[in-house]
Amino acid sequence: AVINFGSINVDHVYQVDHFVQPGETLASSDYQRLLGGKGANQSIALARAGSEVWHVGKVNEADATFKQTLIRENINCKHVSCTETASGHAIIQVTPSGENAIVLFGGANHELTSKDIMYALDAAKSSDWVLTQNETSGIDQVLLQAKEKGLKVAFNPAPMTESVKHLPHHCIDLLIVNEVEAEEISGHENLDKIEAYFRQEWPHAEVLITLGKAGVRMLKKDKTIDVPAFEVTAVDTTAAGDTFIGYFLSAYADHSDSKSALLKACAASALAVTKAGAAQSIPTKEEVSRFLAK
C-alpha cells in the first residue's frame, strides 16, 4: 500500500472577465466548488492506477463530503479526520484566456499532529511506501519516522518553499520534482547541472525530474533514463504532475521496472492534460492501457 500524508483542499473556482483589481468588487459569471489539493489529487491518481492507498489528512467537519468523495475513489480514509478549523482551500479566479490567480489557505492541512502521524505509521506494513508533499504539517516527522520504520519514502516538494532545503534528505528514497522545484533546490537552470547537483548532494535518493511537454529524466544510482512526453493537444495542464506521481509510484511500488513505470506515468499525465480540471482529468488505468496500446 501507499500511505499518503496529503492536503485535502476545497477549490472555489470563479470565472471572471479579468482578475479583480484593488478596491474592485467583481461579479463572477460561474462558480464551482471542487475537491483539490496536491495530496488528494495524488491519492486519486494512485487509486485510479490500481494501488491500495491510505490517505492521511484533515478537513473541516462541514466538508466531510470530500472525505466521502475520496472513499468512493477506493481510498482508505480511516486516517482522514475532521476538525473545527477551516479546511484548506483555494480561491481561484479564471479568466476567459484560461489564466488563473490563486489565493491559498492551508487551514486544517496544517493541523496534522505528531499523534496523527504516529498512529497512521503504526498501521503500516514493512512493504508499504510513504508519500508526502509540501502542503501539510509535520513533514519532518513523516520522513524521519517512516525511514525509522524501514518504509520506502517518496517526497514531492510542492509547492516549493525555502524550508524544503532543511528537511532530513537522507530519509528520502524517491524525490519527485518539476523543473521549477529542481531549479530552486539545486540553484541551476541547465538540466545536466541539475543532475550533477542531485548526484552530488542527494546520493541516497533516486530523483525524477518532470519537464512538462519535454518529458521526464530519472536519476538512478547507475544510470540516467530520459523518457519523452507523448504528443497530445494540451487543454489544461492542471494536475499533470499529480497524475504523473500517482501513476509512477503505483507501478514502482508494485515492482515495475523504472522504464515501464515512467512510460505509464507519461501516458497517464498526457491524458490528463487533454482534459480540463484537476481530479476529474485524472484517467483510469483502463484509459491508460488503451492509450498505450494505440
Q: How far apart are CA 8 and CA 107, in angstroms?
A: 10
Stretch that binds ligand ADP, among 81-89, 131-139, 182-190, 206-214 (CB under 6 A): 206-214
242 in catalytic set? yes
Partners of 103 in the β-ladder: 91
> Is 277 marked within a binding site?
yes
* CB-facing half-sphere around the CA of 274: CA atoms within 13 A: 15
Match 505509464 to its residue by C-alpha cell: 264
Buried b (16+ CB within 10 A) or exposed e, 151-179: bbbbbbbbebeeebeebebebbbbbbbbe
Q: How far apart are CA 35 and CA 57, in angstroms?
A: 14
Question: In the complex, what is the shortest distance from the CB of residue 266 to ligand ADP, in angstroms, rounded to a whole number?
Answer: 4
75-114 residues in contact with ligand ADP (CB under 6 A) are: none
Of positions 15, 184, 215, 225, contacts ligand ADP by CB under 6 A:
215
221-260 residues in contact with ligand ADP (CB under 6 A) are: 229-230, 232, 234, 237, 240-241, 244
Question: In the complex, what is the shortest distance from the CB of residue 180 to ligand ADP, in angstroms, rounded to a whole number?
Answer: 7
In this complex, which beta carbon is closest to ligand ADP, that of residue 54 or of residue 230? 230
Question: In the complex, what is the shortest distance from the CB of residue 144 to ligand ADP, in angstroms, rounded to a whole number?
Answer: 25
Of positions 139, 172, 207, 266, contacts ligand ADP by CB under 6 A:
266
Distances, alpha carbon 255 to alpha carbons 151, 193, 272, in Å: 15, 30, 24
> Is 211 marked within a binding site?
yes
| Catalytic residue from among 30, 63, 242, 254 | 242
Task: Work out whether strand 88-94 and strand 206-210 pair parallel, antiparallel, or are unpaired.
Answer: unpaired
Nearest to 180 by CA among 172, 171, 189: 189
Residues 9, 37: contact at Cβ < 8 Å?
Answer: yes
Neighbours of 128 (CB within 10 A): 19
Q: How far apart are CA 294 and CA 21, in angstroms?
A: 47
Question: In the complex, what is the shortest distance from the CB of residue 216 to ligand ADP, in angstroms, rounded to a whole number?
Answer: 4
Of positions 69, 133, 178, 186, contacts ligand ADP by CB under 6 A:
178
| N-terminal to C-terminal alpha carbon distance within the chain | 30
Told to check if 273 binds ligand ADP by CB under 6 A, we report yes
Stretch that binds ligand ADP, among 40-48, 84-92, 96-104, 205-213 (CB under 6 A): 205-213
In this complex, which beta carbon is closest to ligand ADP, that of residue 20 or of residue 211? 211
Nearest to 81 by CA among 106, 52, 104, 115: 115
Of positions 270, 278, 282, 288, contacts ligand ADP by CB under 6 A:
270
Q: Which residues bind ligand ADP (CB under 6 A)?
A: 178, 210-213, 215-216, 229-230, 232, 234, 237, 240-241, 244, 266, 269-270, 273
Extract the annotated binding site for substrate: 9-11, 37-41, 135, 242
Catalytic residue set = 242
